[in-house]
A and B are shown apart, each in its own frame.
Chain A
Amino acid sequence: MELRKALYNISALGDLGVETTSEKNFQEKLDSLLHVVLGTFLAGKGAIAYREKPASEISFVARKGFHDLSVGDIDLGPLLAAGRNRPYHPAGNEALAGAGVEVITPLWERNDFIGFVLLGKKFTAEPYTGEDLEMLGMIAHQIAITLKNHALFHHVTEQLEENRKLYEEMRRIYHDTLQAFAAAIDAKDLYTKHHSQRVAKYSVAIARELGWSEHDIEGIYVAGFLHDVGKLVISNEILNKKTPFTPDEMKEMRRHSLLSYKIISQIKFPWKDVEKIVKHHHERLDGTGYPDALSREDLSEGAKILTLADSFDAMTSERAYRKKMDVRKALAELKNCLHKQFDDRILLAFCKVLDKEIRGELPEPDILPHIERGSDLSVISALLEGLIEELSGDSREA
């Protein structure tokens, strides 16, 4: 009989192990643990009380019976003074005696008191033996570890959530800073108000159409915002000059993409090649651009996107030295400069996304809101359809 009892106790400890390591949710785990205890000691009533954080209140987290008992009715003094995870028969506590609590076990994990287990009388009405209490002590320690692990996990989860919020806040501040920077750049040139913001948006629209990942899209968005940061170094006289540039002025003006590159190279971005995309936004496929006179195969897709977005916005915006073009003319100009200045895949993506925006297929259009009011969208749409068909043929041939 002793051997059978020992085997049953070992089996109960096994049940406890299965439950403590199960993937059940915390409440199911607690309910299961309580049933293991009740079944092991044949107790009709039992409860587990737990304090999730050192400063929080202890409360019942699983119980069978003892429904009229409140944690507030229990004097925690003797519980704290008792041995760690050592069960005892509570004496002199009216609330516990009244509820029928036969055994109480304080739950400790290392130096933290985290709760207690209550057990009512046995179904067989037999008293708890010394062996029972010893076994209950072992079980209590396992329960304490489970509760502590849960508390730690909960704490880590909370910390993660806090970090996520912090990250979002930093990201927001970062983007606000970018926008402030872009506003400072655009404010230098009276004719390029919101230019950086629009270029960023157009670039994002094209990149998304090309299937870029959200991470990479964020990178080109930043590149769009900062591509003209080098203009902060160029004098206002040159930037706002209404007559054609002299060769020296042109040379000075052309410095801005390299200056932008130098300025933003100081920043360690989490996105790939932002500084290179910025540096090459005035390069051309035919190798006649600046500052490095790179040709098609040397240019990244990001640089090609930014080039087209920048040019389209420049064409459709008023400048000190010329009137703005309407969208139809700008599209015709982009097409004229295909292969020399612009990549056909990028122009195709641009046309597709603008066409979708006009058709209302994109809930948050990036390009359409900046097209001049009064433009005949049906004419633009027809033009885009023709371009898309033509460019799709080109792409297939390529």
Chain B
Amino acid sequence: MTTSPFQVTSRLVKDVAIVYPRGYLNNLSGEYLVNECGRHAQAGLKKIVVNFHETDLINSIGISFLLNVMEDLQTAGGTLCFTEMKKVHLDTFEMLGLTKYFLFFPDEEAALTALDARKR
């Protein structure tokens, strides 16, 4: 299996960090995602949106790292939102019973609106 090099970037929208994993979330590079989210959490941001628009594959290793992100954020009392996740991945999360632990939105705007509404 060929894998694209996995990269993670992020940007801030007010008090929300939007994180962009790019490539396949299927190997130890998933640690980058954990670190990037951890970096924002340490900076005091409690709302993180992960945009999966450019993530074509999430396997068992990737799910392990996403759980890691979630656990870390839960410990910090934060909220994790996923957007633009492919249907096949969404179905997997649903089957695994994980949809009740993460907030899923079709796009960033919807996630930001929902997070803003929660604040109020």
- Given contacts A8-B92, A15-B26, whether A123 and B71 have CB atoms under 8 Å apart is yes
**Helix, strand, loop or mixed for chain A's interface?**
helix
State which residues 70-119 of B face A: CB under 8 Å: 70-71, 91-92, 95-98, 101
The reply on B27 being an interface residue by CB < 8 A is yes
**Would A123 and B1 count as touching, CB distance under 8 A?**
no
CB of A140 to closest CB in B, whole Å: 15
A39 touches B70 (CB 8 A): no
Residue ID in chain A nearest B65 by CB atoms: A35
Interface residues on A, range: 20 to 34
**B8: Cβ under 8 A from any A Cβ:** no
**In the complex, are the beta carbons of A39 and B92 less than 8 A apart?**
no
| Nearest chain B CB to A16 CB, angstrom units | 8
Segment of B15-23, B45-53, B56-64 in the binding face: B56-64
Cβ of B28 under 8 Å from chain A = yes
Say how far B55's CB is from chain A's closest CB, in angstroms: 15
Question: Roughly how many angstroms separate A4 CA and B97 CA in the complex, as a whole number?
Answer: 12
Question: CA of A8 to CA of B97 in the docked complex: distance in angstroms?
Answer: 13
CA distance A18 to B59 in the complex (A): 12
Contacts A124-B101, A126-B97 given; does A12 touch B92 at CB 8 Å: no
Contact A28:B28 (CB < 8 A) given known A123-B101, A126-B97: yes
Q: Is the CB of A249 closer than 8 A to any CB of chain B?
A: no
A11 within 8 A of B: yes
Closest chain A residue, CB of each to CB of B96:
A42
A4, B63: Cβ atoms closer than 8 Å = no
How many residues on the B side are at the interface (Cβ–Cβ under 8 A)?
A: 23
Task: Write the nearest CB–CB distance from A284 to chain B, whole angstroms.
Answer: 67
In the complex, the answer to whether A44 meets B67 with C-beta atoms within 8 Å is yes
Given contacts A35-B65, A39-B67, A44-B71, whether A4 and B60 have CB atoms under 8 Å apart is no
Do B59 and A5 touch across chains, with their CB atoms under 8 A apart? no
Given contacts A15-B59, A44-B67, A44-B71, A35 and B28 within 8 Å (CB-CB): yes
Rounded to whole Å, the gap between the CB of A366 and the closest CB of chain B is 52
Residues of chain A within 8 A of B60, CB atoms compared: 11-12, 15, 35-36, 38-40
B91 touches A4 (CB 8 A): yes
In the docked arrangement, what's the CA distance between A124 and B101, Å?
A: 8
How many whole Å from B89's CB to the nearest CB in chain A? 11
Cβ-neighbour of B98 out of A15, A36, A124 (below 8 A)? A124
Task: Determine the chain B residues whose CB is within 8 A of the CB of A64 once the complex forms.
Answer: 64, 68
Interface pair A35/B101, CB less than 8 Å apart: no
Which residues of B sit under 8 angstroms from A126, Cβ to Cβ?
A: 97
Bits for A108-138, please: 1 = Cβ < 8 Å to B, else 0: 0000000000000001101000000000000
A225 CB to closest chain B CB (Å) equals 56
Given contacts A8-B96, A35-B28, A42-B98, contact A15 B61 (CB under 8 A): yes
Smallest CB separation, A388 vs chain B (Å): 56
Q: What CA separation (Å) do A317 and B51 show in the bound complex?
A: 86
Q: Would you give 12 A-B contacts (Cβ < 8 Å), ordered by A?
A: A1-B95, A11-B60, A32-B27, A35-B65, A36-B61, A36-B64, A38-B60, A38-B67, A39-B64, A39-B67, A40-B60, A123-B98
B binding-site residues for A, Cβ under 8 Å: 1, 26-28, 30, 59-65, 67-68, 70-71, 91-92, 95-98, 101
Beyond A8-B92, A38-B67, A44-B67, 8 additional contacts (C-beta under 8 Å) are A32-B61, A35-B60, A35-B64, A36-B60, A39-B61, A39-B67, A64-B68, A123-B101
